[in-house]
Structure 1
Amino acid sequence: MISSLKRSMLGAGLFLMTGVFSGSVSAASIQNVDVHLSVTDGNVPPVVAKRIVSSISSIGNRILIGKEENLFRLNSAEYNKVIADIINRVVIGYVVSDLSVDYGSNTSINVSLQPVGRMIRHVNTEIDYGNLSGDAERYIKAETAEVPVLMNNLLIGLPVDSVGWAESVSQSAGRDLLKQILPEFQANFEVLSGEDTKVKIYLIPQGNIIRSTRLTLEKSTVPRLLMLRAVDETETALKNLEGLPVGFVSRNQGKIASELNGILSKDFFVEKYGIETRSRLIPGEKTELVVDALTDHWIIRTEAWLDAGRDGDRNTTIEGMLGHFVGGNNVVFGEARFYPGPVDWDVYGGFYHHFRGLMDLGYKYNFIENSNHVFGIVPIGSKFSLRYERDFKDDENEFGLSYKVHNYMTLEYVYNDEDGKWLRLVANL
């Protein structure tokens, strides 16, 4: 094909030299070449037409640009034949059925092409999603549902021979289509052309990939153990995002977060007790789903404490709290603490006000010790919090700095005026 093209170009050059030596009058040179394409026997897909026009434009630019227009006008029949011959050799699967050239400073090539040989009648498109999980594959399938139709529109009606032309029309044009639909993936094509053409597309994730996932219960007004089943099911679905490009998950962030929240909200316990779940997805190589599980009226909290480095006989504690919202940000509550060795109790009643995003500030009364307490809790980000409590009867201050290890475990560094400092392990039950 290359040698034929060279022979055709040589012919064009000989015609040009003939015109020069014939002493033609000087005229303006050709500055620009426009191509106008039509195809008989059907419509050519726009991406294919663009490729054909580009190829013909390259031919015209190579032969015509910078040359005197009169040289071609005086020998238009011969030059049109040369141009048509070159097009026939370059644009595979088509033959020139008609060609005319309007020579001038802005030259127009008007070409009509006729498909030749066998035509593509059917296209079977298969997409290979690699090693992605079923859920991840489902998200991508939702965005690639129209790909088989697009490939049909691209290929059906083309000459079979044209599929392999110019680095494969289907591959280059198909990649452009997939890039618009799935910019986070590279698409590799395997095409077996024929009247029944088979196209296999391999999707390869690009950019940063999700390596790990975790679910964080940030706020909960019910015991976390009661949310365990719902959390486990959601964590399984969340883990299925691993292997997806971070950009893909970011682009579908709202949809994925809503679907994951739907798994939580459909849990039997969550539905039965009217717990409202809110989920926020934070995409990244370590993707996190932040969940709030809240009730409209009640707060239930259960914890177990184990103190290390503290003197005394209250190093193990089980605490339970039941609170009720009064208005939007006020809570009245009852609290009980059980000390198993030796057996002892503290029972409190009180209230606190929630200053949104800033702190909880409140008062409680110990019915066993007949003592008054004030307390405050200040969150510091999503992991840390600072706690203060004052016992007016014993004139004691207690401070605590806690770090949330995960959904069910917290570490707290405690300082008390009377007992000194120690480390507390808190199980969030």
Structure 2
Amino acid sequence: MNPLSRQITLVVVLVAVCLAVLLPGAAYAAEGDTVQTIRVDIAANPPATPRVLRRIEASVKTVGQRLLVGKKTELISQSHQTYEALMQEVLDRVLVGYSVQQVAITPGVATKVAIVLEPWGERVRAVQVNIEFSAVDKLFIPLLRDELGDLAASINGILLGLPVDSLEWADTVAKNSIRELVEARLPEYRAAVDIVPGEQTQVRLVFSPVGAVVREAMVSLRSDSMPNLLLYEMKPDVEAFAKALRGLPTEFVSRKQLELTGQLEQIALSHPYSQSYLLNVRGELIPGPDTQIHLQLESRKYRVNAEARLDMGRDNANTSGHLHAGKFVSPEDELFVEVELITNTMQWQFSPGWGHQIGPNTVVGARFNVTDNSRYAWLEHRFGDNWRLRFDRSSEKDDDEIGLRYKLHDFLSAELVHRPHENFIRVIGQL
């Protein structure tokens, strides 16, 4: 039982004793209708908030039920002035901050109790709202505040005009109203509400996450057109964003996934390299306690790849370095040169060529090895983000090659290679 209800009970018990003395007939049942329910009509100037009015209505009903329910309507009609005076005295005691100007009782099976209230003493004339977020990086404070909207205005609507003294019992009502506002706007957080009453009322809200939060965020930057060493220069900005995600509720990250992904892409696009190399950025954010961030960055102008290769299961020419440098002459066509160094023999291979994009996942082309005057046609097809199938066809010698490649992580891949007289596994480090 809350303090207001206990106070009502004590006062009503005392009043009931008085009624038994002053109105002896009230203690005995007479013939006729009895009061079964209480209806309440409240007039307040200025009007109170709906939740405060409901609390006042509940208090009036409690008093009415204890004083009137079970009594004969005829008795109440005969002594209505006494009952009205007693109810006014009780309500004046329990509705701190309000003066009960009038109580009117209309007897019946459903008895109506109409009261007129007027606030007294100081009123709340201004509300200062202070909002704090627990364990949230400053990067995301504006986003969370945007979700809350004009919360201060809504809280003003709850508290402004209330008698300061009424917050002695309306404090819980106000806090529950504020929590409902927060839950409707930011359900992933719970607000601890502290109200310091006064003409200049202070409201402090401390937000804490509900449920699972982001503990870690892992970043992966990938590109088929730019070297990893260049991407590595861009990674700190993205990792700073990822670090800022820690502490956010996973449900909030999931709900704002598109917006957060857009912020992530914008961070990558704002890097000087993105502008210099005309990068397209496609981001993916997978929410969870261990959130994953993937960025695919592709140049609209260049394609540059540098690789170190180790062929396992092959005796000759099994270590090499490979460089591909190309420029797009149209959205689908690329002119390039490839340079390969066989480190076992220190032999250089130079191959200019052309590639043409067919759809989003397939590239075909031709190249000419100027070192041994051999010509090749080639095809490459991608399966998702990690798998790649390629086919090289030589027109001069028995040197065809088929490779199935899997990307283990950003800097390492493995490829199963088939040639006419040998099969081996190629380990590829992407620089």
TM-score, normalised relative to structure 1 = 0.83
- Find out whether 1:21 has 2:23 as its counterpart: no
1:48 aligned residue: 52
> Cα 1:164–1:337, aligned 2, differ >3 Å: closer, same or farther?
farther
Instruction: For residues 234-282 of structure 1, give each alpha carbon's deviation from its aligned partner in whole angstroms, at most 9, with x where no partner exists.
Output: 3312321211112223333333333332222222232344333343433
**5+ residue gaps, structure 2:** none
Q: Which amino acid aligns with 2:412?
A: T
Q: 2:105 aligns with which of 101, 105, 120?
A: 101
| Residues 412 and 425 in structure 1, CA contact (< 8 A), matched pair in contact too | yes
> Cα 1:7–1:44, aligned 2, differ >3 Å: closer, same or farther?
closer
* CA distance in 2: counterparts of 1:70 and 1:316, whole angstroms: 109
> Cα 1:415–1:229, aligned 2, differ >3 Å: closer, same or farther?
closer
Q: Which amino acid aligns with 1:192?
A: V
* CA distance in 2: counterparts of 1:199 and 1:130, whole angstroms: 17
Q: 1:411 aligns with which of 405, 410, 413?
A: 413
1:30 aligned residue: 36
| Residues 119 and 159 in structure 1, CA contact (< 8 A), matched pair in contact too | yes
- Find out whether 1:425 has 2:431 as its counterpart: no
- Find out whether 1:324 has 2:328 as its counterpart: yes
* CA distance in 1: counterparts of 2:74 and 2:378, whole angstroms: 100
SS of alignment partner, residue 122 of structure 2: coil
Q: 1:237 aligns with which of 236, 241, 255?
A: 241
Offset of 1:233 from its aligned partner? 1.4
Q: How does 1:289-328 map to 2 (within 5 A)?
A: 289-296=293-300, 298-307=301-310, 309-310=312-313, 311-322=315-326, 324=328, 326=330
- Find out whether 1:262 has 2:269 as its counterpart: no
Q: Which amino acid aligns with 1:424?
A: V
| Residues 230 and 263 in structure 1, CA contact (< 8 A), matched pair in contact too | no
Q: Which amino acid aligns with 2:44?
A: V
* CA distance in 2: counterparts of 1:321 and 1:141, whole angstroms: 47
Q: How does 1:335-346 map to 2 (within 5 A)?
A: 335-341=337-343, 342-346=346-350
Offset of 1:300 from its aligned partner? 0.6
Offset of 1:209 from its aligned partner? 0.8
| Residues 308 and 321 in structure 2, CA contact (< 8 A), matched pair in contact too | yes
* CA distance in 2: counterparts of 1:304 and 1:278, whole angstroms: 24
* CA distance in 2: counterparts of 1:67 and 1:315, whole angstroms: 103
* CA distance in 2: counterparts of 1:251 and 1:49, whole angstroms: 36
RMSD value over aligned CA atoms? 3.2
| Residues 94 and 115 in structure 1, CA contact (< 8 A), matched pair in contact too | yes
> Cα 1:53–1:22, aligned 2, differ >3 Å: closer, same or farther?
closer
* CA distance in 1: counterparts of 2:280 and 2:215, whole angstroms: 29
| Residues 7 and 94 in structure 2, CA contact (< 8 A), matched pair in contact too | no
Q: How many residues align?
A: 416
> Cα 1:119–1:220, aligned 2, differ >3 Å: closer, same or farther?
farther
Instruction: For residues 368-399 of structure 1, give each alpha carbon's deviation from its aligned partner in whole angstroms, at most 9, with x where no partner exists.
Output: 4514343332324x3x3042324343254433
1:123 aligned residue: 127
Q: How does 1:78-117 map to 2 (within 5 A)?
A: 78-117=82-121
> Cα 1:410–1:87, aligned 2, differ >3 Å: closer, same or farther?
farther
Task: Give identity over the alignment, percent.
Answer: 20
Q: How does 1:7-406 map to 2 (within 5 A)?
A: 7-9=11-13, 11-12=15-16, 18-19=25-26, 21=28, 23=30, 25-27=31-33, 30-31=36-37, 33-40=38-45, 42-61=46-65, 69-144=73-148, 146-165=150-169, 168-217=172-221, 221-296=225-300, 298-307=301-310, 309-310=312-313, 311-322=315-326, 324=328, 326=330, 330-341=332-343, 342-356=346-360, 359-368=361-370, 369=372, 370-380=374-384, 382=385, 384-392=386-394, 393-394=397-398, 396-406=400-410
| Residues 222 and 228 in structure 2, CA contact (< 8 A), matched pair in contact too | no
* CA distance in 1: counterparts of 2:151 and 2:63, whole angstroms: 33
Offset of 1:115 from its aligned partner? 1.7
Q: Which amino acid aligns with 2:424?
A: K
Offset of 1:322 from its aligned partner? 1.5
* CA distance in 2: counterparts of 1:251 and 1:169, whole angstroms: 30
Offset of 1:12 from its aligned partner? 4.3
Offset of 1:424 from its aligned partner? 0.8
> Cα 1:103–1:291, aligned 2, differ >3 Å: closer, same or farther?
farther
> Cα 1:114–1:416, aligned 2, differ >3 Å: closer, same or farther?
same
**5+ residue gaps, structure 1:** none
Q: Which amino acid aligns with 1:337?
A: V
Offset of 1:64 from its aligned partner? 5.1
